[in-house]
Structure 1
Amino acid sequence: MKRFIIAALAVSMLAACKNEASEDSIKKEDEKAQILAPINDSILGQSVIYEANIRQYSPEGTFNEFTKDIPQLKELGVKVIWLMPVYPISSVKRKATDGRFAEEIEDAKEREKILGSYYAISDYTGINPEFGTLEDFQKLVKTAHDNNIYVILDWVANHTGWDHVWIDEHPEFYTKNEAGEIIDPINPDTGESWGWTDVADLNYDNKGLWTEMRKEMRYWVEEQNIDGFRCDVAGEVPTEFWESAVKEIKQVKPIFMLAESEDKDLFEEAFDMGYNWEGHHILNAIAKGEKNAKDLSDYLKKIDTTYKEDDYLMNFVTNHDENSWSGSINERMGDAAEVMTALTFTMPGMPLIYSGQEYDMQKRLRFFEKDTIPHQKNKFWPILSKLGKLKNKNLALEGSKTPAKFLKIENSNESTIFSFEREKDADKIIFIGNLSDTSSSFSINLEGNFIDYMNNEKVFVIDKNQKIEFSPWEYKILIIQ
């Protein structure tokens, strides 16, 4: 009997061990499934990028407040978060909106309001205490990764703040005038200052600077597990430096590199994507009636021949520079805002959403002082959600290294109606938009039955001679039924 009991216990224990092993195996499989895949061209091709302005995102202006909202960014199709600079800001020559330095303001309370430019960095591997702690930053990155979203940091390699440690320890890293004084950045076209007086210009003739800058960049990938960089005024830094930095950092893991530049030479070995500045300015001009649909068509033909097939650009209706210095989307685009936004998602490239755009922000955010974006979901959240879903799911909007085909569709009113198709594998979408503030009648070289994606309605285009009427700024994204 005793032997029977012992045997029964042994069987029971063995079964328990098997169950535990099985549960551990399932747990490990779940953990394995949650590991974020290395960033790659296939993922980037159907991504939306979100520019996060941590200071202005919430009343608190902290990492933690932004982190709370990361899961819902997936609703907008976001797969990459670009964090504006998160580093400590120089206290020397900290600039205010009116151009004065904070130290020139006598009123202590007013002086405290001057937070300075994110781009006047005093420590490349530090965290701005205004936003929280390093642990808070790590939580943000982990939360993004847990939601299958990558994180890239804004990198400012062209200049530092005036109290960066290199000012004293490595003055040879900086550009100097004839008197041997460190100077702020100079516009190479004019030989005059850009007016960025709150920063000191770095001199890349010194190869010691290259070594230190690469080391600072590598820290964030190797130690903090970020996924790449958006590089400020990338064209003002030698391309050879960027190429050397990317080559070194990719020894750690794959990264994504975004250049604030349209310079095609940067795409050879350094950068994956650049800014579509010219395209953006054309959209602004069309909204103001200064250009038309044909100008946009001509521009897309130009970039098709200027860039290589695997080069791609970031499309946008706003970003931190445009919002603060040129005006809100409403100021610049008015009633054309929705069709222009739809174009940024459907044209070749990757669409950008800037903090507040998803909440219909109608103001310019203060740049050097505290401000806050709205958080009420109105018109644009559902629009961006639908566009983001289409970008994520439909191969016809593939926009990176192996882009979907882009083909202009002829219509009878090329100056106001912009029409094209995108196609890859079995997926195809058609865009038709009235890029004017007046109603437009036209026929189009298209026939068949289609789904109006944004309205989920059937649209019947019976034949090529059918006259179609579009209201001002009306557009359709059509999917073959």
Structure 2
Amino acid sequence: MSAPEPLHPHSHLFQVRHPEWAANATIYEVNLRQFSPEGTFRAFAEHLPRLAAMGVSIVWLMPVHPIGEVNRKGTLGSQYAVRDYLGVNPEFGTLDDLRHLVQKAHALGLKVLLDWVANHTSWDNPLVAQHPEWYQHDARGQLVPPVPDWTDVVAFDYAQPGLRRYMTDALLYWVREADIDGYRCDVAGLVPTDFWDEARLELDEVKPLFMLAEWDELYPSGGLSWAEFNSDTKLLERAFNMTFGLRLHYLLDHIAEDKNALSDIDIYLAAERAKYPPSVYLMHFTSNHDVNSWDGTEYERLGPMALPFAVLTVLLPGMPLVYTGQEAALNKRLAFFDRDPVDWQEYPLQDFYTRLLQLKRRHPALRNGDPTSRFLRLETAPELYGFLRRKDAAAVLCVVNAAPAERTLVLPELAAGTWLDVFSEQQLELRAGDVVAIPAQGWRVLEQAP
């Protein structure tokens, strides 16, 4: 039997309850504008059976609201410049089309999150004229963007009770009208935590939701420096089920340039464990809409380690994210403000992600937030990173190789037993001291069933 970890000293602070279905969940980010030639809810809905078969549990839709025209960037504007919180962007379809998508997802056992931009609006959102007191102003009385470069939006002032009531009602509207299952909340740390805490209470009275914050309390977000960063844990205590694992994302980018830094993953995991109890969810990824468009594709940033690091983001503790087009081996930066549909090319990485996500879905040692699942680091050469995750008699062994040549792993006694190679489907009888080959800039993933 796996012994539970000692109780974390701050466990009592974390009161968010995760739905049971989230324990083995994977999330998929949907860039509707670029997902299909049509760029609509209906066109995307046709892909839902494929995503469900791939092992996806949650689909996160980038913002679905009408987009501002004043100070718009590009031809179509940013989906994060919201002109109407209660409307549907006609570029994507109608409210009924969105309802159809959600219903089809639910029939397949999938959950749907809407992207929510609570921190700012477009300049021509009617709220600017109706409630100018709800917005931040500079010393000259002018509206201000939350970040200087975000010239197409203006920032709210959450000291205003009327704004808080309006925003909570808008969040409730989509749960009631479209039966969504939660929200991904844009730059959540720029909005006061007590707003999210209070809104969550009202939302959960309608139905239990899953809430994802675009923030990382282990790492600054939203353009902030460490000096400005409030490194508390409040977002995950009462409001959010999960935040972004930004620190691991940036660490993997760094390791791609310095292969000798692989062991820094241990430092990251130790910092995560020191700050959070095992019940806390962090989301890990090699790409998302911001990373792809502004920092580059995973192939630009990670080079030959793009797929090995994708393996790590699925199998390390945390919930994995797959972004639109990754299963197509998308190797271009998608335009952010204009149409730029993905070329799916028969989904060359569909099988790669299916093997990983289905393993995540079925294996007891990989459940999110499980304090009785053990993480055991394997002793490896510097170019390798290996670990074993065990739950009772079930285990998963993962090793990635950053070297440009094959390397070997000498198995410790705890890895002895009968294993199935998840990618080759070969059954292996392994003993302590056996040597396992790890392909150049590749990986091995072995499964031990209970």
Give yes or no for TM over 0.5.
yes
Once the two structures are superposed, what CA deviation does each residue of 1:135-159 show, in whole Å capped at 9, x if it has no partner?
A: 1111111111111111110000110
2:36 to 33, 53, 58: 58
2:256 to 284, 287, 295: 287
Contact kept? 1:292, 1:436, Cα under 8 Å: no
1:125 to 75, 83, 86: 86
1:300 to 269, 280, 285: 269
Alignment pair present for 1:430 and 2:384: no
Distance 2:393 2:202 in 1: 39
Distance 2:294 2:205 in 1: 38
> Could you tell me how far 1:236 is from its partner in structure 2?
0.6
Counterpart residue identity of residue 63, structure 2 = P
Q: Between the two proteins, what is the percent identity of the paired residues? A: 39
Alignment pair present for 1:274 and 2:243: yes
Count of residues in Structure 1 that have an aligned counterpart in Structure 2: 416
Distance 2:374 2:270 in 1: 10
Contact kept? 2:380, 2:386, Cα under 8 Å: no
Alignment pair present for 1:339 and 2:300: no
Question: What residue number does 1:111 align with?
Answer: none
1:47 to 13, 18, 25: 25
2:55 to 77, 84, 102: 77
Alignment pair present for 1:156 and 2:117: yes
Distance 2:66 2:347 in 1: 35
Counterpart residue identity of residue 430, structure 1 = L
Alignment pair present for 1:94 and 2:78: no
Partner of 1:82: helix, strand, or coil? strand
Decide whether aligned partners of structure 1 residues 214 and 378 sit closer, same or farther in structure 2, where only a CA change above 3 A counts.
closer
Counterpart residue identity of residue 159, structure 2 = D
Distance 2:448 2:323 in 1: 31
Decide whether aligned partners of structure 1 residues 378 and 60 sit closer, same or farther in structure 2, where only a CA change above 3 A counts.
closer
Distance 1:69 1:394 in 2: 25
2:160 to 193, 206, 213: 206
Question: What residue number does 1:479 align with?
Answer: 447
Counterpart residue identity of residue 167, structure 2 = M
Question: What residue number does 2:385 align with?
Answer: 418
Q: Aligned-pair RMSD on alpha carbons?
A: 1.7
> Could you tell me how far 1:477 is from its partner in structure 2?
1.3
Distance 1:442 1:375 in 2: 36
Once the two structures are superposed, what CA deviation does each residue of 1:20-54 show, in whole Å capped at 9, x if it has no partner?
A: xxxxxxxxxxxxxxxxxxx9532111111110111
Contact kept? 1:45, 1:403, Cα under 8 Å: no
Partner of 2:343: helix, strand, or coil? coil
Question: What residue number does 2:185 align with?
Answer: 231
> Could you tell me how far 1:126 is from its partner in structure 2?
0.3
Decide whether aligned partners of structure 1 residues 457 and 272 sit closer, same or farther in structure 2, where only a CA change above 3 A counts.
same
Which sits farther off after the overlay, 39-48 or 114-123? 39-48
Once the two structures are superposed, what CA deviation does each residue of 1:93-149 show, in whole Å capped at 9, x if it has no partner?
A: 1112xxxxxxxxxxxxxxxxx000000000011000111111111111111111111
Q: TM-score, normalised by structure 1?
A: 0.83
Decide whether aligned partners of structure 1 residues 148 and 449 sit closer, same or farther in structure 2, where only a CA change above 3 A counts.
closer
> Could you tell me how far 1:201 is from its partner in structure 2?
0.5
Partner of 1:420: helix, strand, or coil? strand
Partner of 1:450: helix, strand, or coil? strand
Distance 1:403 1:93 in 2: 49
> Could you tell me how far 1:72 is from its partner in structure 2?
1.3
Contact kept? 1:447, 1:461, Cα under 8 Å: yes
Question: What residue number does 1:470 align with?
Answer: 438
1:143 to 100, 104, 108: 104
> Could you tell me how far 1:205 is from its partner in structure 2?
1.4
Counterpart residue identity of residue 96, structure 2 = E
Partner of 1:235: helix, strand, or coil? helix
Distance 1:368 1:269 in 2: 35
Counterpart residue identity of residue 315, structure 2 = T
> Could you tell me how far 1:337 is from its partner in structure 2?
1.6
Distance 1:374 1:314 in 2: 26
Q: TM-score, normalised by structure 2?
A: 0.89
Distance 2:322 2:437 in 1: 31
Question: What residue number does 2:230 align with?
Answer: none
Distance 1:425 1:41 in 2: 23
Distance 2:259 2:81 in 1: 36
Which is higher, the Rg of structure 1 or of structure 2? Answer: 1
Question: What residue number does 1:407 align with?
Answer: 375
Distance 1:451 1:292 in 2: 29
Distance 2:258 2:436 in 1: 22
Decide whether aligned partners of structure 1 residues 225 and 442 sit closer, same or farther in structure 2, where only a CA change above 3 A counts.
closer
Distance 2:408 2:273 in 1: 29
Partner of 1:60: helix, strand, or coil? coil
Alignment pair present for 1:222 and 2:176: yes
> Could you tell me how far 1:250 is from its partner in structure 2?
0.6
Contact kept? 1:412, 1:444, Cα under 8 Å: no
Question: What residue number does 1:245 align with?
Answer: 199
Distance 1:135 1:480 in 2: 45
Distance 2:347 2:177 in 1: 39
Q: Where do 5+ consecutive residues of structure 1 fail to align?
A: 1-38, 97-113, 187-192
Once the two structures are superposed, what CA deviation does each residue of 1:236-259 show, in whole Å capped at 9, x if it has no partner?
A: 110000001101111101000000
Which sits farther off after the overlay, 454-463 or 135-144? 454-463
Counterpart residue identity of residue 197, structure 1 = T
Partner of 1:268: helix, strand, or coil? helix
